[in-house]
Amino acid sequence: MPVSDASTARSRRRHRTEAAILEAALDVFALHGFRGATLDQIAEGAGMSKPNLLYYFASKEEVHARLLGDLLDHWLAPLRAIDPGGEPVEEILRYVRRKLDMSRDYPRESRLFAGEIIAGAPRISDFLVHGLRPLVDETVGLIRGWTAAGRLAPVDPMQLIFSIWALTQHHADFAAQIAIVAPGDRAGDPGAFLDQLYRRLLTPEAAAERIRAG
Amino acid sequence: MPVSDASTARSRRRHRTEAAILEAALDVFALHGFRGATLDQIAEGAGMSKPNLLYYFASKEEVHARLLGDLLDHWLAPLRAIDPGGEPVEEILRYVRRKLDMSRDYPRESRLFAGEIIAGAPRISDFLVHGLRPLVDETVGLIRGWTAAGRLAPVDPMQLIFSIWALTQHHADFAAQIAIVAPGDRAGDPGAFLDQLYRRLLTPEAAAERIRAG
DNA sequence: GCTGACCCTGACCGGATGGTCAAATCAAGC
DNA sequence: GCTTGATTTGACCATCCGGTCAGGGTCAGC
């Protein structure tokens, strides 16, 4: 197992170095966007020289593409996790919670994505067209079905999805603003608020009355 | 009135040139952020040479600062327009509508602001601290009063304000994503959706009944 | 048609930026 | 300890960037 061992040890080492580069690159790209980021800054953040960084990644674009690729894999998971067989309101609330968790746990990824969209999505339009759109279409159909069955209050499904994206990503993308306007504990709990908001919006009238009567 | 005429004619001409520069600069800054924007690109967009641009503005920072200054004046207006003497739900819905109108009519300004926040708000923290925060605090107090008087369903006021910002700005900041995921008429009407959403959330009657139901 | 202030630009500068290269260093197998 | 391939970097390059400067054009007032 000499060759195999050596190769895996090397590959592990290589993997760690790449991870350090991607980590530093995420900081810089999330803060300044693709054009505003510099390889020198990324290399410094990763604790190495610029030529060494370019030994692991062929170009600035490649680093950026790798980050986006890794990110977009995660991006669709919460949408996919919606269970068509579940209770509609609870399924959507679960989706909201997952999205909010992602914003809390991966704020830089969220900002990277936001920056890319603001810049006109030049590098991720393929993902949006062939990855996100079909899944959204599917989910829109699912929501329409739920609404038609009276298990969900009648809402515009597309707008509903957009609203969830907006409300959850906001906490990551605009963290700097939130930290200034509502420093410390004054911000309240986004999770509880969103739960309340979507429960009120989505609970069908019949169910609401049943609860009222119950 | 020779001198006066000449001076106003010149000032008018100067004003037009500055406007052309700011117009082009808004395009570029909104798309690529401060660091990603270049003076050459702005000058080309404004149809002039870079040195001429720098004849009107001393530096890249000055162009950017001017854009932000002009923008931030507009930014607070909708919040200020909330009438403490009005009907709570309608006042907040009016605020939502105004914010949504701004996102529709000034999407580049919205993206400029968003990019600045994502970048850590290095150039607008003063505005956030001394302009936005006090006004938000005031509005939070107003909402608390309304809630205490039973004229508004009990909601976290700060979270309510954040949600309005998120939901309205989203349509400008993420326009590229929306255009791809829901091209053409499939997007529905954001105004109607937000109206429905906030009416359900804020109308106190619903809250009372929900509490009754326990 | 001369003057003087304003407007505009080509050429240029110093420094940053993405990327290359040859040489030095390191780690692992013998 | 020697070899070999993977890793790392200082020096360098072409280009771009923000900004300067000297000079030329424009135009209103005389």
* CB within 8 Å: B159 and A118: no
Q: For residue B173, what is the nearest residue in chain A, using CA coordinates?
A: A118
| Strand D reaches within 7 A of the B3 CB | yes
Residues 25-84 of B with CB under 7 A from strand C: 48-52, 55
| Strand C reaches within 7 A of the B20 CB | no
Residue–nucleotide distance: A50 CA to D13 C1' (Å): 15
Closest Cα to residue B205, out of B128, B152, B167, B158? B152
State mean pLDDT over B28-39.
98
Average pLDDT, chain A: 93
Closest nucleotide to the alpha carbon of B11, via C1': C6
Q: How far, CA to CA in Å, does B165 sit from each of B160, B169, B183, B214?
A: 9, 6, 23, 31
Closest alpha carbon to C1' of C8, residue: B52
Share of chain B above pLDDT 90, in %: 86
The size of the A-B interface in CB pairs under 8 A is 184
* pLDDT at B43 > cutoff 80: yes
Closest alpha carbon to C1' of D6, residue: A10
Closest nucleotide to the alpha carbon of A62, via C1': C18
Residue A84: φ, ψ to 5°: -60, -20
> What does the pLDDT read at residue A213?
67
CA distance A30 to A23: 11
Q: Decide: B132 and A176 in contact? Cβ < 8 Å.
A: no
* pLDDT at B190 > cutoff 50: yes
Tell me which nucleotides of strand D come within 7 A of a protein CB.
6-11, 16-22, 28-30
What domains does chain A contain, in order, with CATH numbers? 1-58 (1.10.10.60), 67-213 (1.10.357.10)
Q: pLDDT tens digits, residue range B90-108?
A: 999 999 999 999 999 999 9
Q: Decide: A163 and B200 in contact? Cβ < 8 Å.
A: no
Q: What is the dihedral of CA B145, B148, B150, B155, to 10 degrees?
A: 90
